[in-house]
Structure 1
Amino acid sequence: MTGLLAFVESPVQLLNVLEWAHTRAPGAEAPATGAPAPEGSGTAGPAAGTPAGGAPGPETPVTGAPASPLTVVVLSPTDPMSRGQLRRMAQLARDEGVTVHWQEARGGRGALVRTLRRLAGPLRSAERVIIGDPFSRYVQLLLTLFGPRHLTVVDDGTATMEFAAQLGRGERLVRWHRKGSLGPRELVLAPVTTLARRRLAPARGRTVEVFTSLPVEAPEGVEVTENSYAWTRARFGPPRLTGGADLVGTSLVETGVVDADHYTRVVGELARTHGATRYFAHRRESTGKLHRIAVETGLQVVRPELPLELIARRGPVGRTIVSFPSTVVHTLPLALAGTGVRVAVCEVAPEWLRATASPRAQGFLSGVTGTAAREVDRLTACATPAVDRLEFG
């Protein structure tokens, strides 16, 4: 493979770039070489050479064409949890022989110009560009300036489903939890989004691939490649199973979709019903919300240092994993295939939604639940504020 350039902005995007590269490598089903994390840790330790707490090291400039078959450019986010996970994922990628450049793309005044200047050469010479978030304004800007000949989109959550649907319908690209009206910022960026959408669609001289573990309706001319999490299964586990259950958190409160009071009550009910002891926090969950969950439910809140698919595969992990509608109801059954772990998804009732939620939110979340893997149990929550019962659906 030559001329492969990937842009990632989250740990999950980088994980799925590694999964994509694994499907292209000879002998993809390599023997497991990863050692499980220490029992009871629930997280992986800092990668070798990583500054404590995921603090950024010196920025690595990108000055020419990719020097290895696959080069990953990390367009670093600003929140500490994402940065820490990305640092550890970057070390895993280097262990696989991937060249990784850390770019402080949001590092204050002038960062955008510096980033574009450093990436101009590699973008022009790349045979294939791999991105994880087609909704990212940063990625959209890069695509408007340098249209790739071959483009691959890897998963960064359930938004992949919405991207494929919007691309197929010829609509502008809008995240599902955003309201439909255009604000001042969106109006200014509308020309960028429009051109980027064209660059994300197949055309003469350009191919588009979606590499996904999610059920997507492929637009005409788009190639869909299945992500079975073969690299994760080959490198880690199988995990030691504990006797109880683990809950998986979500950022639905932080994105303004779900009411915080309803969310906390449901988490407590799920913990009591399934005997859960740990709550794996989403990297975007606020400290205040997590403190409230710990105090009111008694759950041990764990902030994973790697994507949950890797944490679960390394173990230890509960025999049951309960999640709200999110990507993990599609990915965990693949990553944990053959381990005996049961995955369940709890539906989001309409009464939990905030007034600020997008009109499309309920339908989208229901679609995520309805399209979950066959191995996933569906839990129907009573649609009352008291949430006085939970039953298998």
Structure 2
Amino acid sequence: MSRPDVPPGPAAGETLAFVESPVQLLNVLEWVYEDRLRSQDARDPRTPLSPPASGGDAPRGAAVLPGAGPHPGAAEARSGISAPTSFPGGEAARGADVLLGIGARPGPPAEARSDPAAPAGGVTVVVLSPNDPMTRGQLRRMAELAREEGLTVRWEDARGGPAAPFHTIGALAPAVRRARRIVIGDPFSRYVQLLLTLARARELVVVDDGTATMEFVSQLARGERLVRWHRSGRGGGPRDAVFAPVSAVARRRLTPREGHRSVEVFSSMPVEPPAGVLVTPNDFAWTRARFGPPALTGGADLVGTSLAETGVVDLDRYVGAVTALARAHGATRYFAHRRENTDKLHRLAVETGLEIVRPDLPLELIARRGPIGRTIVSFPSTVVHTLPLALAGTDVKVAVCDIDPAWLTDTASPRAQGFLSGVTGTARDVHRLSSVPAAAP
């Protein structure tokens, strides 16, 4: 159901954005910043999202998990912020204020922010909230930042029960039909595809949803159905067959038609767009303007991935690889992906000795504010493309470790190895690790 304290939707001619993850909401903020700068260059009275003075405090950034234990979902329900946890046999978890040396940020002064009532306004972000507590917590923190920048945020508990999708689609339908411009973060989302069948907007914008953007653009260019890269590719089930007509309509909506509909992709990924699609580079200008530069620690940090959770990489192989990388680079912290499960993180803490950090903001913001290691080591993922941009002008080195084909599971998509190699091979301004000691099966 819609939150009662937000407007029902945008007025005609305004912009409606749909997001389902914290990274998507971050990239909507980046797109709005860029769009307003472009409008300013065209002598439009709109103003960009304004940066505060450098060195200002950032929002609370992470919860630290030194061992294992259930994630405190109740805290998310109360405050929207993932609370620190302590593990049996380990020291009590320290909040991000201790770990990162930052406190709650009150936001820039009113006179420095975009005026929500100015012509620059008219951007409503609809959060189609998932059920995962970590994702919800990060989304609530990002929603706070979006509101500080003059955007309207409408929170939809879109998965709050069997009837929730029907209520959500019905409640959003009038706003979708009125919107002049629609911005989406996940073109593979069935929720978004359903909403696109209702859209009459003449402008569609796709902002980054990480590496999935690369696959989306490739599929759009080839005229293929929209399927996530890590899906097995062994044929869809009955639900896929039923949903196929909706997906086909959404794909047509995401195809530009001269004189009728424009399509823009706002991306930090290396993409080759089909004819007629405008690609606008995302260089994380808003992030760099608002946060940092970061203080640097003397060591290295590892970035986690959910490749084991999605069934792409064998868990034992993954743990072995993390252990080897931590030893090789002297890493002390492991920044967990929001989808990594607690049992896996507990195992990593015990077997590697790493301090497990669950950020409650996207890593680009955490790293930009710091403190952060002088070296950040990651497996193939979005951050090998985004962190060098967010950390431009600093002395941080980003290194990426390839996925050995032997680590892949028997059920991994046939496209997995090629896709992951492409993520690594196209990354700019990163140090590519040629090998890692063999991970134990």
TM-score, normalized by length of structure 1? 0.90
Q: 1:191 to 1:20 in 2, by over 3 A?
A: same
Amino acid at match of 2:385: H
134, 145, 150: which one aligns with 1:97:
150
The answer to whether 1:79 aligns with 2:132 is yes
Asked whether the equivalents of residues 248 and 280 of structure 1 are also in contact (C-alpha less than 8 Å), the reply is yes
Alpha-carbon distance between aligned partners in 1 of 2:287 and 2:302, rounded to the nearest angstrom: 21
Q: Deviations over 1:67-92 (max 9, x none)?
A: 94211000011100000000000000
Alpha-carbon distance between aligned partners in 1 of 2:126 and 2:186, rounded to the nearest angstrom: 13
1:54 CA displacement = 3.1
1:32 CA displacement = 3.6
Alpha-carbon distance between aligned partners in 2 of 1:36 and 1:356, rounded to the nearest angstrom: 45
Q: 1:44 to 1:312 in 2, by over 3 A?
A: farther
Amino acid at match of 1:121: P
Partner of 1:15: 26
The answer to whether 1:210 aligns with 2:245 is no
154, 177, 202: which one aligns with 1:149:
202
1:337 CA displacement = 0.4
Alpha-carbon distance between aligned partners in 1 of 2:197 and 2:292, rounded to the nearest angstrom: 41
Asked whether the equivalents of residues 134 and 163 of structure 1 are also in contact (C-alpha less than 8 Å), the reply is yes
> How many aligned positions are there?
372
Alpha-carbon distance between aligned partners in 1 of 2:177 and 2:240, rounded to the nearest angstrom: 27
Alpha-carbon distance between aligned partners in 2 of 1:213 and 1:184, rounded to the nearest angstrom: 35
Amino acid at match of 2:132: D
Partner of 2:88: none
Partner of 1:5: 16
- Cα root mean square deviation, aligned: 2.3
Q: 1:2 to 1:192 in 2, by over 3 A?
A: closer
Alpha-carbon distance between aligned partners in 1 of 2:369 and 2:270, rounded to the nearest angstrom: 26
1:55 CA displacement = 2.0
Amino acid at match of 1:152: V
Partner of 1:116: 169
More moved, 352-361 vs 66-75? 66-75
Partner of 1:53: 75
The within-5 A match list for 1:157-196 is 157-180=210-233, 181-196=235-250
Alpha-carbon distance between aligned partners in 1 of 2:356 and 2:75, rounded to the nearest angstrom: 18
Q: 1:52 to 1:28 in 2, by over 3 A?
A: farther
Asked whether the equivalents of residues 350 and 383 of structure 1 are also in contact (C-alpha less than 8 Å), the reply is no
Q: 1:67 to 1:54 in 2, by over 3 A?
A: farther
The percentage of counterpart residues that share the same residue type is: 68
1:30 CA displacement = 4.7
Alpha-carbon distance between aligned partners in 2 of 1:132 and 1:331, rounded to the nearest angstrom: 16
Partner of 2:405: 350
More moved, 292-301 vs 24-33? 24-33
Asked whether the equivalents of residues 28 and 231 of structure 1 are also in contact (C-alpha less than 8 Å), the reply is no
Amino acid at match of 1:193: S
The answer to whether 1:378 aligns with 2:378 is no
Q: Deviations over 1:240-279 (max 9, x none)?
A: 1000000000000000000000100110111111110000
TM-score, normalized by length of structure 2? 0.80
Partner of 1:257: 312
Partner of 2:107: none
SS of the equivalent of 1:55 reads helix
